[in-house]
Structure 1
Amino acid sequence: MIIQQHSQDIETPTGTMRTYVYRPQADGNYPAIIFYSEIFQQTAPIARSAAIMAGHGFVVLVPEVFHELNPIGTVLGYDDAGKDKGNQDKWTKPLEHHDSDTQALVSFIGQQDYCTDSIGTMGVCIGGHLAYRAALNSNILAAACLYATDIHSGDLPSDEGNDSLTRTKDIKAELLMIWGKQDPHIPDAWRMLVHNNLLVSGNVFSWHEFNASHAFMRDEGERYDPQLALRVYGMAVELFNRTLK
């Protein structure tokens, strides 16, 4: 499908959140996917990923995940300075603020005549965590969580007992969990902690581990695996076609 793109400033309880919208050009209304980026916000690889998903018949929204902490339009570089700033933002913003961002996006989607009322989430790295976290919202029907960081530890800022690992039992959406077995940020023991917690919590989920490193979906840099990326895009499209359409 041919797609179109525009930006939308959405008001949240913690400030204006620039959001990039990718959607089919053809008239009609389509299910929505909230696509959460890495710590670097909407880089060129993230924009291309959003476009790929939109081309399969979805409205894809890419919010600036740390909008409170940066000027509108900020994109951090894939370098040491960008990593340092992005990680600082990650450890500064409470999960509760991400929750209110998600609700603002859900409300926005509900007001658009080009959207249906079916919503999924997808994300990479910290965005994988945020896609998982967003599934706590009862409006989210499915979530594709790609090499999600920091779920296992419960260390991201949040109120006591409100970390994502503890709240897993409250997720009703179907989860697609994607991991790289050579990911230094999420080693075996940490992945298994998340896996066992999903089992104990009774969640509906599928679990896939590949021989890949962190950020193997990012089509820039030496860790990119095009073959696996295509396979994972296909798995995400299958999930959302089945659960949202």
Structure 2
Amino acid sequence: MLIRTDEQADIGTPTGEMRVHLARPTAEGRFAAIVLYSEIYQITDPIRRLAAQLAGEGFLVAMPEVYHEHEPPGTVLAYDTPGTERGNALKFVKPATAHDTDARALFDWLEAHPACTGALGTFGVCLGGHLALRASLDPRVRAAVCFYPTDLHTRTLGRDAGGDDTMARIDELRGEAMLVFGRQDPHVPFAGRSAIRERLEEAGRSYTWFEVNAQHAFLRDGAPRFDAALARLSMGWALAHLSRWLTPPR
């Protein structure tokens, strides 16, 4: 499927304009939409390639710049020590509630987009895995794919602004979440994974769970911890999950 990746929009939110990058099929028609949440580095080349892969499967993909309140539009943080330190600092500074208002604004915009069927899903990696799950607490979201979500079990997203209540709000989840973890990921150790799964069970939510023998960020192509075989396998799971919940009528 041919795609285009040259579109962007600036969407108004309560905390300022948020730049959103789009990838979608070139074919005429309407498509289910996926909000793709990035790592702490914002819209890097690996995130764009991931978006292109999803768009090639027939989805309208929207990538928001999650730190729009703190960085100029178009800012991409480097995969180096300064970039990592800046990204980690911002994830603690930005209130979790600001991510909520960002998500609502983006979902509203997508529902009105002429290329969108109105079916909404989320997908995220690392910080984005947490944001994908949190955004899916919106009852409009039918499916979420969360790769190694960080700061979920520690409840430290927006730590410097009061912390987050994502785990406490899991009862609000209405769609089905898919969570994928690397067992060798120091950011989400066994105890953390257990706490997340126990909370999902306690809340009686619908979810799919995978653990693989991999490091953190194993999905990021070109990185030292990239695992090509597991990336292919887990993306197959993710695409099946999204197609199941977003493609059929509800």
TM-score band by shorter chain is: over 0.9
Aligned CA RMSD, in angstroms, stands at: 1.3
**Residue equivalent to 1:170:** 172
Question: Residue in 1 aligned with 2:181?
Answer: 179
Q: One-letter code of the match for 1:24? A: P
Equivalents in 2 of 1:222, 1:84: separation in Å?
A: 19
Per the normalisation by structure 1, the TM-score is 0.97
1:176-212 deviation line (CA, Å, top 9, x unaligned): 0000000011111111000111111101001100000
8 Å CA contact retained: 1:153, 1:165: no
Deviation at 1:68, TM superposition (A): 0.5
Q: Is contact 2:156-2:164 (8 Å) kept? A: no
Tell me, yes or no, if the aligned pair for 1:34 and 1:61 is still in contact at 8 Å. Answer: yes
CA distance in 2: counterparts of 1:31 and 1:157, whole angstroms: 30
CA contact (8 A) 1:138 1:172 kept: yes
Name the CA distance, whole Å, in 2 between partners of 1:201 and 1:66. Answer: 31
Verify: 1:236 aligned to 2:238, yes or no.
yes
Q: Which residue of 2 aligns with 1:2?
A: 2
Distance 1:169 1:68 in 2: 29
Task: Decide which of 193, 214, 217 is 2:216's aligned counterpart.
Answer: 214
Superposed counterparts of 1:32-51, under 5 Å: 32-51=33-52
Partner of 1:135: 136
Give the Cα–Cα distance (whole angstroms) in 2 for the partners of residues 221 and 142 of structure 1.
27
Counting only pairs closer than 5 Å after superposition, residues 187-198 of structure 1 correspond to structure 2 as 187-198=189-200
- TM-score under structure 2 length normalisation: 0.96
Q: How far apart are residue 155 of structure 1 and its match? A: 2.0
How many correspondences in the alignment? 245
Q: Secondary structure at the match of 2:21?
A: strand
Question: Which string of whole-angstrom CA distances, capped at 9 and with x for unpartnered residues, describes residues 77-102 of structure 1?
Answer: 00000000000100001111000010
- Aligned partner letter, 2:107: V
Give, as a single letter, the amino acid of the residue that structure 2 aligns with 1:127: G
Give unmatched runs, 5+ long, in structure 2.
Answer: none
In structure 2, the residue matched to 1:223 is: 225
8 Å CA contact 2:156–2:163 kept in 1: the answer is no
1:226–1:161 Cα change, 3 Å: closer
- Contiguous gaps of at least 5 residues in structure 1: none
Please state whether the residue corresponding to 1:166 is helix, strand or coil. coil
Q: Percent identity?
A: 44
Q: Per-residue deviation at 1:161? A: 9.2
C-alpha separation in 2, matches of 1:163 and 1:175:
17
- The CA distance in 2 between the partners of 1:40 and 1:157, in whole Å, is 16
Give, in angstroms, the shift of residue 160 of structure 1: 7.2
- CA deviations 1:139-164 (Å, max 9, x no partner) are 11110000000110112237879610
Structure 1 residues 170 and 187: alpha-carbon distance in aligned structure 2, compared to 1, 3 A threshold: same
Classify 1:221/1:173 alpha carbon distance in 2 versus 1 (closer, same or farther; 3 Å). Answer: same
Amino acid at match of 1:173: G
Structure-2 separation of matches of 1:197 and 1:174: 15
Cα distance in structure 2, aligned partners of 1:150 and 1:202: 22
Specify the SS of the correspondent of 1:68.
Answer: coil
Aligned AA (1:52):
Q
